[in-house]
Structure 1
């Protein structure tokens, strides 16, 4: 494996008496695009929130870029796109991006090129409140990329995108990974994950039940790739568990 960017060992997360994550262990290396799959409620978003410091772990160990747990010093090192983008609704894209740059003390000269890269017109002066959901997804991704972070976490990034936008995002994800970034994404669109990811992790009932390279899975399940993943997402079966070495 390449240099470890994220290391998780025996992570547990509970809300009250309800266990959401149970003994999650995984390592993410530089240049990997890891798809985290699972049914609604499987624990994908909770895992991302713990990594981002938005939720506290109950037990276990986490190291991000060699630092234990999430600290303020990691804010600039992790780009994230969560499922519901939040913006200054009365401002346009450039104005929202400018605020992001001021917060992280970034060079604003790259704003227009980043907006173009995600498929947005930097000279569109409409306020964000008039944007479609797909446009809002693109703007959130632009805010994520402007930091040029070594780690990117994306929760359902393909939602709301038209076919052209999906293709553009897939290509951008793979290009960024080739630039030695580590990317974690969740999605229910398995056909896109097949092309965007290098590795797939499936979580069922808070437990990792599959951890394999995509090319291996494609080779082994040429005719039933999506059906196989859906079966794994349906529930934990110890006799069919695959673990990543």
Structure 2
């Protein structure tokens, strides 16, 4: 799988404050990556370093397998890491044409990218008349003008109303479906869970988790069980091998293990002990539950 961006042991210090600590990440072509963490976790600093606007303290990163210098590689990158900044008295089309002129891009891309972000009907409207959500969508169109191989977004839905958030998420999904790799930083669990395939969780500059979103939210070692006699059920479950914890939650017994629990095997064990269940399912933790667990234990 083609590597778009490789980050190894990245560190950034601001005096005594270590904003980024030994961060490593591989971005592969065609995926949607989320850098998730509360404000001050090092998300924006990490993006600033790889975009060459923040100097790293130590560590390394390379674009496109290290085949080109950062300056040349960034020509294949689209990024929004600050609030949209266009001329308020110019129209959407005029602003994007100016970007094309500066970057040497054909003007034909303007119409195409306005279509992608749903602003083609407002192409002749002045930027100052746009809502915050529309301004953000125009910024995305601007970042797409050079047909980047990767689009980097820092808190793309920050400050938007629910409709604006929904529109930005739909645009991200559309761009990803067209084959563009996406890397976005967010403190919103819901945002990452809905649009990303992979996630890096940061807290105080340190990695707590890196992998797929599905892998983070899955939990093979957690099973919900119910029966008519909860107390007897709990006593019987204590005899089952490799159980780490047993607790009651909303009338259900939650069984946790560090290894996979097969519901069929557990049910067989309970039947052999004359326990007949009324409810038995594997349980997947939500991304929110997993995130809270990670940040609480570090």
TM class by shorter-chain length?
0.7 to 0.9
Measure how far apart 1:40 and its partner are. Answer: 0.6
Q: 1:103 to 1:236 in 2, by over 3 A?
A: farther
Structure 2 segments unaligned to the other structure (5+ residues) = 220-282
Measure how far apart 1:165 and its partner are. Answer: 4.2
Q: Hey, what's the Cα distance between the residues in 1 that align with 2:285 and 2:297?
A: 22
Structure 1 counterpart of 2:140: 141
Measure how far apart 1:152 and its partner are. Answer: 1.1
1:42-73 CA-partner distances (Å, limit 9, x unpaired): 10000000011110111011101133897322
Q: Hey, what's the Cα distance between the residues in 1 that align with 2:144 and 2:96?
A: 11
Structure 2 counterpart of 1:26: 25
Q: 1:114 to 1:51 in 2, by over 3 A?
A: same
Measure how far apart 1:160 and its partner are. Answer: 4.0
Structure 2 counterpart of 1:226: 288
Q: Does residue 1:105 correspond to 2:167, yes or no?
A: no
Q: 1:133 to 1:222 in 2, by over 3 A?
A: same
Measure how far apart 1:235 and its partner are. Answer: 5.7
1:142-170 CA-partner distances (Å, limit 9, x unpaired): 10111110011100112244444434433
Q: TM-score, normalised by structure 2?
A: 0.72
Structure 1 segments unaligned to the other structure (5+ residues) = 238-245
1:57-106 CA-partner distances (Å, limit 9, x unpaired): 11011101133897322332110112411112221111110011112211
Aligned pairs for 1:5-154 (under 5 A) are 5-67=4-66, 71-154=70-153
Q: Hey, what's the Cα distance between the residues in 1 that align with 2:12 and 2:78?
A: 23
Measure how far apart 1:24 and its partner are. Answer: 0.7
Indicate the RMSD between aligned Cα atoms, in angstroms: 2.2
Q: 1:100 to 1:157 in 2, by over 3 A?
A: same
Q: Hey, what's the Cα distance between the residues in 2 that align with 1:118 and 1:162?
A: 17
Q: Hey, what's the Cα distance between the residues in 2 that align with 1:27 and 1:223?
A: 25
Relative contact order, higher structure (CA 8 A, sep 6+): 1
Q: Hey, what's the Cα distance between the residues in 1 that align with 2:174 and 2:10?
A: 30
Alignment check: 8 A CA contact 2:93 2:110 kept = yes
Q: Hey, what's the Cα distance between the residues in 1 that align with 2:36 and 2:177?
A: 22
Measure how far apart 1:178 and its partner are. Answer: 4.1
Structure 1 counterpart of 2:171: 172
Higher alpha-carbon Rg:
2
